[in-house]
C-alpha cells in the first residue's frame, strides 16, 4: 500500500518517510500504537491516536491542576504539610 501511495506523492501532503519516522517515535510515547507493526499502521490511524493521546493528556492536566488547587487551598494554614511542600521546593 505504501508504494502505491508514494507514486501519487505529488499530491499527498505527508510523505511515507515522515510517517515511518513518526510512527517509530510515537511507538515509544503513545501506548496505543506500541502493539502494532509499523508497516501495518495507516497514517490516518497514527494521527487519530496522536490526537486522542494529546487530548487525554490535556484533560489530565486540567484535572490534576484542579485537584492540586483544592489541596493548596486546604494546606495554607497547616504548617506540617507546608513544610513538606517546602522540602519539595528545596530539592
Partner 1 sequence: MRNPSLIKEEFLKRWIIALRRCTSLKKNMNILERNKVVKLSADLAMASARNGTTSWSRALIANATRDNDNRILAEQILGPESEILVKRVSTMPFKTCNRRKIRSKRILKRSCSSAIRRVRKTVPRKVLANCIAKRLIQKRTHILKSLVPGGEFMDETTLMEETLDYIAYLRVQVDVMRSCTYC
Binding residues vs partner 1 (CB under 8 A): 4-5, 8, 11-14, 18, 21-22, 25-26, 29-30, 42-44, 47-48, 50-51, 53-55, 57-58, 60-62, 64-73, 84, 88-89, 91
Give long-range contacts, CB 8 A cutoff, 24+ apart: 24-33.
26/50, 29/53
- We find the least distance from the C-beta atom of residue 57 to partner 1, in angstroms, to be 4
- We find the least distance from the C-beta atom of residue 29 to partner 1, in angstroms, to be 5
Amino acid at each position: 500500500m505504501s508504494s502505491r501511495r508514494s507514486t501519487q506523492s505529488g499530491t499527498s501532503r505527508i510523505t511515507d518517510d515522515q510517517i515511518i519516522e513518526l510512527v517509530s517515535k510515537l511507538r515509544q510515547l503513545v501506548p496505543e500504537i506500541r502493539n502494532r507493526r509499523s508497516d501495518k499502521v495507516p497514517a490516518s490511524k497514527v494521527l487519530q491516536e496522536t490526537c486522542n493521546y494529546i487530548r487525554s493528556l490535556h484533560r489530565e492536566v486540567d484535572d490534576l491542576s484542579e485537584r492540586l488547587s483544592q489541596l493548596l487551598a486546604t494546606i495554607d494554614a497547616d504548617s506540617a504539610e507546608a513544610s513538606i511542600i517546602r522540602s519539595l521546593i528545596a530539592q
